Structure 1
Amino acid sequence: MTAQTETSPVHRGRFARYTDTAMAACLGVMALAVFVNVVLRYGFGSGIAASEELSRLLFVWMVFIGATAAYPAGEHMAFTSLVGLLREKPALFGVATAVIRVLVLLGCALLAWGAWQQVVVGLDSHSVVLGYPVALLPLPALLCALAIGAMALVELIQRRPLDLGHSAEVE
């Protein structure tokens, strides 16, 4: 398979298509809201106050949807120099892979715990203009941590080796 067919939309999974669609929808609504607000503000002297709140909310969701989608695609930053050297020693490579997955799980647990605390605090507060619960801002961080943690746990249980063949060279 060539690199072009691997990244072709036909060969991508359903999860990737859904996340791409969700991110595109967020970006499209944000761009439209900001564009209309700029035109109204500079062309007619008034703007839409909800535009800024809506854009901020959608941006946060878009970032965490993207972070979740990047994990199974192997697109998060990876420092693979040390682990790449262990490729010839399967036992050490397996231990390093397990340690990395456990560290990912720990990071996800910490993120989820902090995000959950913010969700609980935000349930009693509402945004100034749109009036949505402020808990909607940290909620995508919680969902992202749970999703990445679940994927890392499955990879750990299945003893799936690290994918060192990402598009960048070994760093």
Structure 2
Amino acid sequence: MSDSTNPGSSGFQRWSERAMALCLAVMAAAVFLNVVLRYGFGSGVAASEELSRLLFVWMVFIGATAAYPMGQHMAFTALLTPLAKRPVALKAMSRLVHALVLLSCGLLGWGAWQQVVIGMDSRSVVMAYPTALLPLPAFLCAVAIGAMSFWNLLRGEVIDLGHESEVE
């Protein structure tokens, strides 16, 4: 995670970290309250499980979107490191990787959007929220990462090989 006091950290990065922390805090509180009520008093909050599942899905996709511009997704640097001394080959391979990421985002976005459309007419069992809220973060994540990858492809961005581990 980035340092929120660092003036170089982006507004999106700070927003995403706060959103993930809020999701985690609400999930932890809901589950803790449910456990205490079930084991201590023989009853529980029915919405706890649905709320935790919904927040977990959102937290994962917010985190995935925030990790992409920082280069924290799988980079396969072991495959690209031999090309480090051949800048033309490295640039070509980087373009291929960005194009494959863009293709993957297109496929993920298309499938997630289909699920959003299907979920608009149905409601969750306990909380009665539109079930379209479950696949929506996958769609938004695919759009955001796809846009970043497209931008990197247009600029000819070379993949950073300075990762900590050789094989990720």
TM over 0.5: yes
- Measured in 1, the distance between the counterparts of 2:154 and 2:113 equals 26
> Aligned to 2:163, which of 150, 161, 166?
166
Q: Secondary structure, in 3 states, of the residue corresponding to 1:88? A: coil
Structure 2 stretches of 5 or more lacking a match?
A: none
SS at match of 2:79: helix
Question: Gaps spanning 5+ residues in structure 1: where?
Answer: 1-5
Q: Does 1:31 align with 2:28?
A: yes
SS in 1 for 2:70: coil
**TM-score normalised to the size of structure 2?**
0.94
1: CA distance, partners of 2:132 / 2:83: 44
Aligned ranges 1:1-171 → 2 under 5 Å: 7-9=2-4, 10=6, 11-169=8-166
Distance, in Å, in 2 between the alignment partners of 1:8 and 1:67 is 18
State the alpha-carbon separation in 2 of the partners of residues 20 and 129 from structure 1: 28
Percent identity of equivalent pairs: 62
- Kept in 1: contact 2:77–2:163 (CA 8 A): no
Report SS of the residue matched to 2:29: helix
Q: Which runs of 4+ in 1 moved over 4 A?
A: none
Residue 167 of structure 1: CA displacement? 2.6
Q: State the 1:170 CA deviation.
A: 5.3
Contact 1:84 1:170 in 2 (8 A): no
Say which SS state the counterpart of residue 72 (structure 1) adopts.
Answer: helix
CA RMSD of aligned residues (A): 1.4
Structure 2 counterpart SS, 1:143:
helix
